[in-house]
Chain A
Amino acid sequence: GNSVTQMEGPVTLSEEAFLTINCTYTATGYPSLFWYVQYPGEGLQLLLKATKADDKGSNKGFEATYRKETTSFHLEKGSVQVSDSAVYFCALSDFSSGSARQLTFGSGTQLTVLP
């Protein structure tokens, strides 16, 4: 079956530090990959996505590259801000299985950025 493994948190960084949150996946087919962000007390927002190997998703200074050879989709940002403090979820959706096309989520990584 499909699964997503995320770097365990919490992660605490100082403002302007470099961020990496690791994400690896297992899928039976050719998944699309997503990063979602959840701010306190809110639902999830799509941060970025990639639909095929070597695609790079980017948004708000965040980037992630779909690496098929390492089955990874690590999230990076060169200079984090206090406002980036949130929980980040890596997710995949595999269409080749032909089933319900659900999203499979990682466990989430809590990021706290200190001023």
Chain B
Amino acid sequence: GAVVSQHPSWVICKSGTSVKIECRSLDFQATTMFWYRQFPKQSLMLMATSNEGSKATYEQGVEKDKFLINHASLTLSTLTVTSAHPEDSSFYICSARPVAREVYNEQFFGPGTRLTVL
């Protein structure tokens, strides 16, 4: 149980285009999902906290107009990288926190999405 999927697993796009990444909790409901960015050989950097039915909370330095987050249901959150540029190339990882596990902040992570912007 507690499986989180991401789609696509990798994507290559041209500079200036937009890319949407989906994060789904397959067998549990999650009122809160998190989006992270990971650079090579580095730790995860939290970008934003996505709350079902409300606006996402962005970390300092993360442009909310560039990284659009939508959490329309208890099992789906999407991250859209708008007008992508080569510096946006990275590994994007989402996590979901089951409603029943909120007390311990136990998060389950997706497999990640490799974005390459040419």
Contacts and interface: CB of A to CB of B under 8 A. Distances in A.
Interface string A33-65: 010100001111110010100000000000000
Contact of A46 (B42, B106, B110): B106
Interface residues of A, number: 23
Nearest to B4: A43
A32 to B, nearest CB: 5
Nearest to A36: B109
Contact of B104 (A42, A43, A49): A49
11 contacts: A32-B104, A44-B109, A51-B104, A93-B104, A101-B102, A102-B46, A103-B105, A105-B44, A107-B42, A107-B43, A108-B42
Given A105-B44, A108-B42, A108-B43, A46 B105 contact: no
A-B pairs, 7 with minimum CB distance: A93-B105, A44-B109, A43-B109, A43-B111, A43-B112, A101-B105, A105-B43
Nearest to B114: A41
Nearest to B57: A100
Contacts of A66: none
B: interface residue count bin: 20 to 34
Interface string A83-100: 000000100010100001
A43 B105 contact: no
A72 B25 CA distance: 32
Contact of B6 (A32, A43, A46): A43
B67 interface: no
B109 A49 contact: no
A102 to B, nearest CB: 6
B111 A42 contact: yes
Contact of A89 (B41, B43, B104): B43
Nearest to B5: A43
Interface string B21-44: 000000000000010000001111
B107 interface: yes
